[in-house]
Structure 1
Amino acid sequence: MYNVALALLPATAFGVYRFGLYALAIVAVSVAFALLSEYVFQKLAGQKVTVSDGSALVTGLLLGLNLPPTVPLWIPALGSIFAVIFVKQFFGGIGQNFMNPALGARCFLLISFTGIMSDYAVDGISGATPLAALAEGQQVNLAQLFIGFTGGCIGEISTLAILIGGIYLLLKKIITWEIPVCYLVSFAIFELIFGKGSGITFVLAQLCSGGLMLGAFFMATDYVTSPITKKGKIVYGILLGVLTGVLRTFGALPEGVSYAIIISNLLVPLIEKVTMPTAFGYENGALEGKKGFSFAAYKSAFTLCGITLVAGLALGGIYQLTKGPIEKAELAAQAEAYAAVCPGAESFDVDETLEAAIASLTAEDGTVADGQFGGIVYESAYAALDGSGNRTGCVVNVTSKEGFGGDITISLGFDEEGTITGMEFLTINETAGLGMRAEEESFRSQFVGDNVEAFELTKDAASSDDQIQALSGATITSNAVTNAVNAALYLVNSAAQ
């Protein structure tokens, strides 16, 4: 274990050099609480104290290196307590845990404190991670990625430093080549075929981004949670590469290493069973009992299929029963949103002028305004009427097809001067703690009360009425919402001409 800690020193040193002494404090707190948690738990449980074996040291070190350089110090403390006590000691201690403790804690922190765990901004250093840039279709500098002059978690940014530690572990025969090589190669092939970029440059950027290298050499190779057979390690590595590719390419988050490794950890017993070599003196399968079909052997499978079929039919029936009420609830929610975005309006009616403008701005292929606002769909537009039937403004419902988690539909209210009077979300399925913060008043209020031609997204504080400060860690969502609002403004201004 101490060799693993030694191999992590280059990545640790570069992370501290890059992000400053506060990064060192995060790692130190993580290590200290990991050691303290193991010592206190074993003392209270009357067990032999095993702090000196180095496993808690490595757990704390790995967790600290997997944290952003801006997290408050209680985050590594809480994470280390969870890793050592809940993931490791509650399952019997070293050698008994079914998943990597550091990654288990990281996922716990990601789910529980998404906003904190997704903030990579450091004074003088861009908060944008390479994976976020790649997800937005931006170009990245491969040389800077390889060396580590980019944003990200403390220990994941320098591919060079991680490779130095990984090669050390290989030379010391602490790990073998099968898992890291099969992991990286299978991931590269997956991204080459299914990735949202093109060419070898995109694949190399993906390999050097996020926690892939750190995961491949230091966490996927964990003795306890990885296979012991050579074939098993190869299968395990390929599985990791494919899962990481699926999660990165099609998942709701740009990173997928932590979840891919944990899922694969759970499948290790099955991989071992399938790849275990035949014992000397036995025919293949002799230890498993008689060959041939046995209903008893497949009883559980048949039962599971039956339950699945019944559940599917039941869900289908429930959907048909609830379809009508759901549609009524959606209409009621829309009416409530219209009233919220157009204060003072008593009723809403079809606005023929706006509908005609929608028709003229939308091409036959569905493109709106020559694509200048990205993937936009004008859903509907209504005139807002007061109690006397006089027009007081309008409501425009617009959808951006470019949200991080899917379509984002917004209802916007305008007065007769073209000033935005209100903004409500009708549909949004972004990442909790990140993109979903677009619903918060602090973000929505930036659009309300302004009469501008178009809004401009900025990562810094807004300095004028036409600037919108993007949500930290959710640039794609911020951009989609801003484009939708700008498309609505364009529609209203076009109809007024």
Structure 2
Amino acid sequence: MEETTLSISASPHVRDRKTTSSLMLDVIIALLPASVFGVYNFGTKAFVLILTCIASCIFFEWGVEMLLHRNSTVKDFSAVVTGLLLALNLSPEVPVWMAILGSAFAIIIVKQLFGGLGQNFMNPALGARCFLLISFAGKMTTFTYDGVTTATPLAILKSGGTVDVLDMFIGRIAGTIGETSAICLLIGGLYLIIRKVISPIIPLVYIGTFSVFIFLYSLASGMGFEPLYLAAHLCGGGLMLGAFFMATDYVTSPITKKGKVVFGIILGLLTFLFRIYGGSAEGVSYAIIISNLLVPLIERFTQPKSFGKGAELQKEEGGSAADSKKMDKKSIVIATVAILVITLVAGGVLAYVQQITKKPIEQAEQQAKEDAYREVFTDADAFRTVDGFDSETASAWLSDKGYKADIDEAVTACDKDGNALGYVFVITSHEAYGGDLQLALGVAEDGTTNGISFLSLSETAGLGMQADTDEFKSQFSGKNVAQFKYTKSGVASDEEIDALSGATITTNAVTNAVNAGLSYADYLKGGAN
């Protein structure tokens, strides 16, 4: 009798000619239109960043697998895809060393640390992008187009400005290297669907859910239905790049049809919440990685039950499907205890690090304040705290006068050769676009505004951040007025400040903060205010 050799492997058993490398090649091909346009849009620096990210990801993948004695996966092009996606998610102004650091985080931390290809818990490229955003927000959110530093269209839209939707669709805008051209991304997404590399369920449900929420928000906010407003949100902020190329990642997205629908709905909801109510105008990156973490839970509740489910947990003698529930309870308890232990350990480490760094941080903050004092009173040789000042009483007084600002800590008196020059007030405004802003205001003895210096400013790059330029700040210096006001039609008097283009909210916040300080200075001198 002739013997037959059988090959036994674990399920699922799928007959398909596609391999990991062929799938990754398709993704690379689909990303070529956006990549080429990104290089055309931003020039050589975009090309250098793309090559840097791809080469770095390949190097770190090869190095880690060699050190851990794992089979090399460099030839399957997955590292190339990670590097390309990371580069397309970076501002063209990002330095090369930062791109290398992001590549290391994507491959070593997000991918290889958890077992390599197929084991990562979130999209590696997006995980790296969010890591860089948290660590280097300034560099990651600085965008230049046609040699001019400016904000992205969604940032302009969120601050009350207007945008050109056609430019956003074509790609003649500022943004990350690969997100600007919606049409190039749609062409790439269509290619992946035609090649059956991805299912259209997640992109369509994601974009559809997001569109519904934007539509409802437009109606609820009194705008009515604004097609161009919706179109701008669809074309900007990396939505198309995220929907077709990262939300559909095989490893970090559900495999069941119901799971894909639920996943898409969660993505749409989170992106809407982050964009409209969050501090950032984007939201896609955080929406995807948070949804990635929910995938195991989504699949748990959307996985279809197979015939005889529970039989695998029965004992050899007796037992029932109820053992499955017992196993589930046991698993939940183990997971809860593990999470608790991890939280306690992480909390202890963070507390220890905080204790070590507390004093240096306080010293750095104090030095920053002293530098700000010297900036608004350059000729002062001594600074002293004014006795009897109470910040809570001062803030309450400002609130009664209608100011949305606080006077922090103590009022500082500035002297030169023993003679009083004036006072410095540290004022925090709650009206800024990107969160609270804090500035030091110098007021001379005769009530003249001696200047302003920012201690904290988190406005939009290219728009609100222009408040921290000499051109804008100098408008407050050397003027003896009771109150300032801003104008968009040109300055005609000392009381008027030329508003920042496209950043009315920031201009208003700074002007009101200065006016709050002037009012309180006049109050301290026994003035009418």
> Residue 102 of structure 2: SS of its match in structure 1?
helix
What amino acid sits opposite 2:236 in the alignment?
S
State the Cα distance separating 1:260 from its structure 2 match. Answer: 1.2
Residue from 432, 438, 441 that aligns with 1:403: 432
Rg larger in structure:
2
Task: Say if 2:487 and 2:499, in contact at 8 Å, map to a contact too.
Answer: yes
1:47 aligns with 2:70: yes
> Residue 441 of structure 2: SS of its match in structure 1?
strand
Residue from 257, 262, 265 that aligns with 1:235: 262
Cα distance in 2 between the residues matched to 1:69 and 1:20: 9
Q: Could you give the per-residue CA deviations for residues 295-345 of structure 1, whole angstroms, max 9, x where no partner exists?
A: 9788689999x99xxxxxxxxxxxxxxxxxxxxxxxx9xx99999878678
Cα distance in 2 between the residues matched to 1:26 and 1:197: 43
Change (3 A) 1:396 1:104: closer
Bigger mean CA offset, 161-170 vs 474-483:
474-483
Residue 188 of structure 1 is matched in structure 2 by 211
Residue 164 of structure 2 is matched in structure 1 by 141
> Residue 185 of structure 1: SS of its match in structure 2?
helix
Residue 247 of structure 2 is matched in structure 1 by 220
- 1:92-491 equivalence runs, <5 A: 92-125=115-148, 127-194=150-217, 198=223, 199-200=225-226, 201-282=228-309, 289=323, 347=386, 376=404, 393=422, 400-408=429-437, 410=439, 412-421=441-450, 423=452, 430=458, 450-451=478-479, 454=484, 480-485=509-514, 488=517
Cα distance in 2 between the residues matched to 1:84 and 1:295: 35
Q: CA RMSD in A?
A: 4.9
Task: Say if 1:415 and 1:421, in contact at 8 Å, map to a contact too.
Answer: yes
Cα distance in 2 between the residues matched to 1:302 and 1:339: 51
Task: Say if 1:114 and 1:432, in contact at 8 Å, map to a contact too.
Answer: no
Change (3 A) 1:145 1:452: farther
> Residue 143 of structure 2: SS of its match in structure 1?
coil
Change (3 A) 1:105 1:443: farther
State the Cα distance separating 1:277 from its structure 2 match. Answer: 0.4
> Residue 413 of structure 1: SS of its match in structure 2?
strand
State the Cα distance separating 1:475 from its structure 2 match. Answer: 8.8
User: Once the two structures are aligned, what percentage of the paired residues are identical?
Assistant: 45
Change (3 A) 1:51 1:385: closer
Task: Say if 2:143 and 2:461, in contact at 8 Å, map to a contact too.
Answer: no
Change (3 A) 1:398 1:110: closer
- 1:15-94 equivalence runs, <5 A: 15-94=38-117
Q: Could you give the per-residue CA deviations for residues 282-307 of structure 1, whole angstroms, max 9, x where no partner exists?
A: 49999674679x99788689999x99
State the Cα distance separating 1:77 from its structure 2 match. Answer: 2.0
Task: Say if 1:98 and 1:265, in contact at 8 Å, map to a contact too.
Answer: yes
Cα distance in 1 between the residues matched to 2:336 and 2:127: 33
> Residue 278 of structure 1: SS of its match in structure 2?
coil
TM superposition score normalised by structure 1: 0.73
Task: Say if 1:252 and 1:431, in contact at 8 Å, map to a contact too.
Answer: no
Residue 315 of structure 1 is matched in structure 2 by none
Cα distance in 2 between the residues matched to 1:100 and 1:398: 42
Bigger mean CA offset, 117-126 vs 216-225:
117-126
State the Cα distance separating 1:238 from its structure 2 match. Answer: 0.7
TM superposition score normalised by structure 2: 0.69
State the Cα distance separating 1:145 from its structure 2 match. Answer: 1.3
Structure 2: gaps of 5 or more residues? 1-23, 314-319, 342-365, 489-493
Residue 313 of structure 1 is matched in structure 2 by none
Bigger mean CA offset, 275-284 vs 134-143:
275-284
Cα distance in 1 between the residues matched to 2:256 and 2:445: 73
> Residue 412 of structure 1: SS of its match in structure 2?
strand
Residue 3 of structure 1 is matched in structure 2 by 26
Change (3 A) 1:103 1:180: same
> Residue 8 of structure 1: SS of its match in structure 2?
helix
| Matched residue count | 446
> Residue 418 of structure 1: SS of its match in structure 2?
coil
Q: Could you give the per-residue CA deviations for residues 345-402 of structure 1, whole angstroms, max 9, x where no partner exists?
A: 874789xxxx9xx99xx9x9x767xxxxxxx558799997999xx9965666765332
Change (3 A) 1:125 1:147: farther
Change (3 A) 1:406 1:173: same
Cα distance in 2 between the residues matched to 1:164 and 1:197: 35
